[in-house]
Structure 1
């Protein structure tokens, strides 16, 4: 509230207080005048002047009430206010006639008389009270048509004034006498006065009741006016001559009543509309200020376009995005923000849109572009909204620069189809290329060949010099293989030290072997990295289409078999597949047999790798890792037996055993007061069998009596996108059960960030391949940071695996990664070792930053 408002409220309170005091004094003053016989208080020769002054004042106030009510600002024009105005026009005229007809005044048209003067007084009082009753009974009835209704009421009022005035002037004896000089008011006069007072009190009660029922707004000035008018009229009931104190007080109260009535009409007809206008003006200013704030701080560029396609407003973000100054754009056609090639088409689309505008959200239309002032194109996403303005439909466009998002998506798409380390195509992309090559070969009776290239003795580099040095050797090997290829051939890295070369076109076996020899030659040369030299070679297996296989999977398998035969031949050799090479399949079959025996003989062991909170170093969970120790062969890598288990279907009972064992460990830790979550990897096969996984998890949770949120399930990105409807249904039921869900190896598959919103997940695990060159490759660091930010925008916890260096940890910490896992903290541990770790401390010094 402003100082002006406070001052006006104070003045309003004072005025109302004065009126209340006058009203309170009226009753005892009236009683005193009845009991006491007070003689004249004003000499007779001055009474005419007093009466004329007080009546003239009342006439002026009544006329002001008419003027204000007639020229009110409220566009809705309440009928009651107009009727009150017309009524008080009649009151002003009758009071003026009463004044001019009073004793001591010159004759007014006809000879003045006491009866003539009193009749004008009576009609003025009756008209006043009738107008007040109409006003309080229908305060907000709206005129059907402003000007005709007003003048209709005014015409009727003037006709009534002329009729009543004519009767009073020329036929004053039409009504009984109201006042006798010797005895005062006659019986008829007293009845008329009582009727007027009763009607005024009725108007007062009606006003109070409608205010109490909130049918009209509270109007204290109006209520005071009616009360003072009733009190004033009651003073005339005290017998006596006009110059006595009762008449003087009655006239004063009448004048006060008119003043408060004028104030009520002024507040209703002038002040309230003005206040509403001021309030609306403040609201408009506030809205404009909020609109300016929104435009200034909106993350997107915003532009408003009128019906003619001209820019009417922009925000600062649009100036920065397109390089124009505000003065260059406002009034210009919006097409200047578009590439030249699309402007004509956009004009047609814009005109069509403005004829039937419909809101359009972001990401509705792909491939949109804007044009910077310097001529370069900007990839954008645009949302549209519209509203009706004075000059037609105005369209508001919200423009988002998606350059960074496109780069991120392109980078992720590239990573989904390319090896992170070498930049070569990965297995998925090579599979696509091989399928296309085989289709082309069938159509044109051609052929193709696959070369499986596996580096010899590469394990010694990793073991002796570390993975970082091994990665550098792999990058150099990939470049050497690429340079050795013919135009049209391609190479992919399948993982580890294994590469696959696709040779297109039908080739004789000798020609394919010559290509293999050309690849072999540079690989035999020393790999010089700083002061170190590494001598490695390669074993290459060859399988040709259509000679050796009719489908891509078999062709790959046969090339792999030939590569293993090359290794058996003493390494650094090239081997062409033939039908006798069934060793690989036999080995796989043996492995399946051993795997069955291992499950029966409990050769499997479950290890647990701790997962640490980056913020405080506390252990937040473990990942269950399956290990197999064969009594004759020793430790067999999961990379070897897991694919065999998935291919044979043994992964189902194997996973059930892992879930049971993990639940037992959770129960043990819970009983020790160390409740900690264990996450188990689940294959896509579980999700293809509807409700089987859900039933298994529910049974295990109930049978072991563990909290469901202490059991986590991890599903790979590829499995997540496979049979997505069934996956979503199963995931939702598991989450409803309370199980913690994570997406594993994120960034290696084809999922989009938008598709992640469909799945009820808690944690996103960044694939370990992102960690290899994180500390010395700014692009990798930026991509990991982007993945983390985008995951957090989906309200997902972010976990990084395979963290092996302090540099990687620091980058992840700065990127706001939540949880990490890797050899930097702990290798996989037995359950007993983890119990000791949990019981001793939950944090790791490496996470403290010291």
Structure 2
């Protein structure tokens, strides 16, 4: 019995020892497994959070960089600076420019003036954000969220032009990746949660998280029951791991970290109850049998821990995918930077080149690896190279900038040592808490040459390459100032070829143009080096003779010019003779300002013509009185208005390529009872002086209204009909009202009648022309600018007047036989007009060669003999009915003429 009892005791002790050993082993194994789980959990939470923070930081900075790329575009700065003066054109240009940037994953862009005025707006900004969190370290940057749009980064940056802020760019950049980041923790099932919060005073505001994907938390406390929440550590700028209770009171393992220098914090948590629940459950089941099934218990424990390990692996895999997507985003941005035409480089605070895109490499002739890591001063010539480091140091110490934050023209140095002008714009930005600079550059040589060429084209006659009106006036003004100091005489001579129209009529405009070039060459050869000859228009030339001793010197020079011009001209197989009439006005006795000298020399020229042509005449006030013939013509015009002696002719304007009649030009003629059919050029100048120009314009308007009505009664569609006006009727308010009454009194007439004003008339009084232009447009009458390119106007005036259609001067109608410089000047003018959204009409197109060349160079419409001859109303009705111009070389009907200036 004792043995049995001892045996039972031994058995019991052994069983207890086995059970105890099993329990010890089980507890030890459980403790080791839990410790390993804790270590793996902490490592994976910390590394997973670090990757997510890096992803969020790069996503935010990539979005800000995209908006910065918009803010540093030079053409936006130029348009913002121009907007107060040319609001409509600049706003249209800015809207088109901003719309192109939406492709850079921006949902909305807006441009504001310094005053807060909105100039341009594309896309849709987030409205009514639930969370509106300004970011520290990123001035002007706000992180927004609402349930409909998710996360959006709003960036407001200044736009600099010449070191001055000319406006602001505000852009919304969607951050879908940030939303996926916060919701991506769902891969860890319900155990994990990612939170993103920002400071709100002593509290904090949190964005939606994995547990609450559609709810934000405003002004939450940073602690619970006196214990700081993990997010409070992150907002304090600390990084670490802690096991504590979350805002719901659940015990969690949490990794916390600040989101760079943005002021935000991010926390990745896992519920410990969910983490260890499988372990505790299996442990209570296995404990009674642990001695017998220790190995099985270890396998069961391992099997139960496997899902947790799998969850952590899934979390790490998600983080790696996020990192890969971030890399793809970086590659996308780099591809955009590499594909732009502008050179782009980023530079460290000490002047070391960090990035160098292909356009910048082509600009300077260096491979990127030859520049990256070196001081940017190697791209500069002396003495700028030696002083660059001192300039950067001075800027860091004082903030005084000559280049940074502005755009200006500088000199660059290529790898081969050659120097060239560049347009450079430098801005500073912060990345990773460090100041850096981004510079955009483009070769300015082409722009400067284009500006020089445009200036030359604007001041010189395209046909003869002589100075135009603007340059002539500037030279006279210079001679006046010089004469005021020295007391020397100088003369202004106005030369007009006699019967030049006969050359055009008999030999054609091509030979006429050659003849004008020969005349220009003879005038230049006959003058001294200090003298100057220019062409006003047609066959009118102005000669300036400086440093005269006596008035006789001017007479001798005029006589020399007449003899030079009277020599025979050889034009192919033809020998031509052509005289000229020259008027001379002396400074100071005949005028003390530019306009008076030109006007008096013109008057003297007419005195020469009335004296028999082929002569010169010095200005004589008494002889400048109106001649008897002119008085008779002026008197006859009064009668012609009431006697039905006036008649309107029409010439079609056709669309290039389609040959459709898109407009009609009018030409006023006078059936004089004694002199026969007179062209408008023979009497309209006299009408202007006699005060009859407005009356003639009113007669033409009434006649045009009647003829349009007859055309429409015949079922014809009438294109716009343009009546050319001189400056006086163009500015006449009563005439504007007459036009308005015609348009209002007849259905469908709005848009049927327009007026044409010539460039020369506009530039005689630009301000008055602009005021009159506003009146015409207010009454619904379109205004076309005629004879553009004769050297009168400048590009700013053309922008201010905002014409929709411009008819080129006849001297600009060229073909392929023209010299390269003339063609280059013409194409520059057409390109400039198209850039301003202006339709271009080629005038006096007489040959298929001219038509084909002008079509190829960009003209939208054409007029002249090739488009159709001058026609009376019945002939014009047939033309409108047929809508088919002659193929080549049409006749001129009753004559060929420019549209009549009324």
Q: TM-score category by the smaller chain?
A: 0.5 to 0.7
Q: Does 1:450 align with 2:496?
A: no
Matched-pair contact (CA < 8 Å) for 1:361–1:384: yes
Matched-pair contact (CA < 8 Å) for 2:346–2:437: yes
Matched-pair contact (CA < 8 Å) for 1:381–1:399: yes
Aligned pair partner of 2:882 in 832, 840, 850: 840
SS at match of 1:799: strand
Q: How does 1:566-581 map to 2 (within 5 A)?
A: 566-581=608-623
SS at match of 2:845: coil
Question: Paired residue for 1:466?
Answer: 508
Matched-pair contact (CA < 8 Å) for 1:448–1:503: yes
Q: How does 1:124-163 map to 2 (within 5 A)?
A: 142-144=231-233, 153=242
Counterpart Cα distance in 2 of 1:150 and 1:509: 95
Question: Paired residue for 2:790?
Answer: 748
Aligned pair partner of 2:327 in 269, 281, 303: 281
Question: Paired residue for 1:300?
Answer: 342
Counterpart Cα distance in 2 of 1:720 and 1:479: 30
Question: Paired residue for 1:606?
Answer: 648
Q: Deviations over 1:717-736 (max 9, x none)?
A: 45666776786677678668
TM-superposed CA distance for 1:770, in Å, is: 0.9
Structure having the higher helix fraction is 1
Q: Does 1:677 align with 2:717?
A: no
Q: Does 1:543 align with 2:585?
A: yes
Q: Does 1:418 align with 2:460?
A: yes
Matched-pair contact (CA < 8 Å) for 1:605–1:627: yes
Change beyond 3 A, Cα 1:585–1:410:
farther
Q: Does 1:73 align with 2:47?
A: yes
Question: Paired residue for 2:558?
Answer: 516
Question: Paired residue for 2:848?
Answer: 806
Question: Paired residue for 1:705?
Answer: 747
Structure having the higher strand fraction is 2
Counterpart Cα distance in 2 of 1:350 and 1:254: 65
Change beyond 3 A, Cα 1:704–1:434:
same
Question: Paired residue for 1:632?
Answer: 674
Counterpart Cα distance in 2 of 1:369 and 1:585: 63
Query: Could you list the runs of 5+ residues in structure 1 that have no partner in the other structure?
Result: 1-42, 80-129, 158-198, 204-215
Question: Paired residue for 1:775?
Answer: 817
SS at match of 1:385: strand
Counterpart Cα distance in 1 of 2:395 and 2:838: 38
Q: Deviations over 1:777-805 (max 9, x none)?
A: 22222222233333333333332222122
Counterpart Cα distance in 2 of 1:234 and 1:458: 118
Q: How does 1:71-110 map to 2 (within 5 A)?
A: 71=43, 72-75=46-49
Matched-pair contact (CA < 8 Å) for 2:730–2:757: no
Counterpart Cα distance in 2 of 1:132 and 1:330: 44
Counterpart Cα distance in 1 of 2:505 and 2:763: 36
Matched-pair contact (CA < 8 Å) for 1:781–1:811: no
Counterpart Cα distance in 2 of 1:336 and 1:750: 46
Change beyond 3 A, Cα 1:558–1:774:
farther
Q: Deviations over 1:311-337 (max 9, x none)?
A: 444344444444455455445554554
Change beyond 3 A, Cα 1:398–1:45:
same
Q: How does 1:338-357 map to 2 (within 5 A)?
A: 338=380, 340=382, 355=399
TM-superposed CA distance for 1:283, in Å, is: 2.2
State the superposition RMSD in angstroms.
Answer: 5.2
Q: Does 1:791 align with 2:833?
A: yes
Counterpart Cα distance in 2 of 1:721 and 1:321: 41
Q: Deviations over 1:752-788 (max 9, x none)?
A: 4466444544333332211156632222222222333
SS at match of 2:880: helix
Counterpart Cα distance in 1 of 2:677 and 2:405: 56
TM-superposed CA distance for 1:413, in Å, is: 2.6
Question: Paired residue for 1:534?
Answer: 576
Matched-pair contact (CA < 8 Å) for 2:461–2:791: no
Change beyond 3 A, Cα 1:68–1:339:
same
TM-superposed CA distance for 1:232, in Å, is: 6.1
Q: Deviations over 1:439-469 (max 9, x none)?
A: 4434444322333333345444333322322
Change beyond 3 A, Cα 1:695–1:455:
closer
Aligned pair partner of 2:437 in 370, 376, 395: 395
Change beyond 3 A, Cα 1:451–1:814:
closer
Q: Deviations over 1:392-440 (max 9, x none)?
A: 5443333333444444433333333333222223344333333433444
Matched-pair contact (CA < 8 Å) for 1:748–1:767: yes
Counterpart Cα distance in 1 of 2:701 and 2:875: 19
Change beyond 3 A, Cα 1:805–1:133:
closer
TM-superposed CA distance for 1:566, in Å, is: 3.7
TM-superposed CA distance for 1:821, in Å, is: 1.7
Matched-pair contact (CA < 8 Å) for 1:358–1:386: no
Counterpart Cα distance in 1 of 2:513 and 2:239: 94
Query: Could you list the runs of 5+ residues in structure 2 that have no partner in the other structure?
Result: 1-14, 54-189, 196-209, 214-228, 253-265, 890-902
Change beyond 3 A, Cα 1:141–1:287:
farther
TM-superposed CA distance for 1:703, in Å, is: 1.4
SS at match of 2:47: coil
Counterpart Cα distance in 2 of 1:73 and 1:716: 76
Structure label with greater radius of gyration: 1
Matched-pair contact (CA < 8 Å) for 1:383–1:399: yes
Change beyond 3 A, Cα 1:306–1:467:
same
Matched-pair contact (CA < 8 Å) for 1:541–1:563: yes
Change beyond 3 A, Cα 1:74–1:650:
farther
Counterpart Cα distance in 2 of 1:463 and 1:275: 81
Matched-pair contact (CA < 8 Å) for 1:412–1:747: no
Matched-pair contact (CA < 8 Å) for 2:698–2:735: no
Q: Deviations over 1:533-576 (max 9, x none)?
A: 22333333333333444554444444444434444544433444
TM-superposed CA distance for 1:819, in Å, is: 1.7
Counterpart Cα distance in 1 of 2:820 and 2:657: 23
Question: Paired residue for 1:160?
Answer: none
TM-superposed CA distance for 1:627, in Å, is: 3.4
TM-superposed CA distance for 1:65, in Å, is: 3.7
Question: Paired residue for 1:5?
Answer: none
Change beyond 3 A, Cα 1:541–1:347:
farther
Matched-pair contact (CA < 8 Å) for 1:232–1:252: no
Matched-pair contact (CA < 8 Å) for 2:479–2:546: yes
Q: Which stretch shows the higher mean deviation, 469-478 or 226-235? A: 226-235
If the length of structure 2 is used for normalisation, what is the TM-score?
Answer: 0.63
TM-superposed CA distance for 1:144, in Å, is: 0.6
Q: Does 1:617 align with 2:659?
A: yes
Counterpart Cα distance in 1 of 2:289 and 2:728: 111
Question: Paired residue for 1:209?
Answer: none
Q: Does 1:385 align with 2:427?
A: yes
Matched-pair contact (CA < 8 Å) for 1:304–1:394: yes
Matched-pair contact (CA < 8 Å) for 1:801–1:822: yes
Question: Paired residue for 1:99?
Answer: none
Change beyond 3 A, Cα 1:482–1:264:
same
Q: How does 1:483-494 map to 2 (within 5 A)?
A: 483-494=525-536
| Matched residue count | 688
Counterpart Cα distance in 2 of 1:479 and 1:778: 19
Counterpart Cα distance in 1 of 2:875 and 2:324: 76
Counterpart Cα distance in 1 of 2:808 and 2:473: 24
Change beyond 3 A, Cα 1:651–1:413:
farther
Q: How does 1:634-649 map to 2 (within 5 A)?
A: 634-645=676-687
Matched-pair contact (CA < 8 Å) for 1:416–1:750: yes
SS at match of 1:142: helix
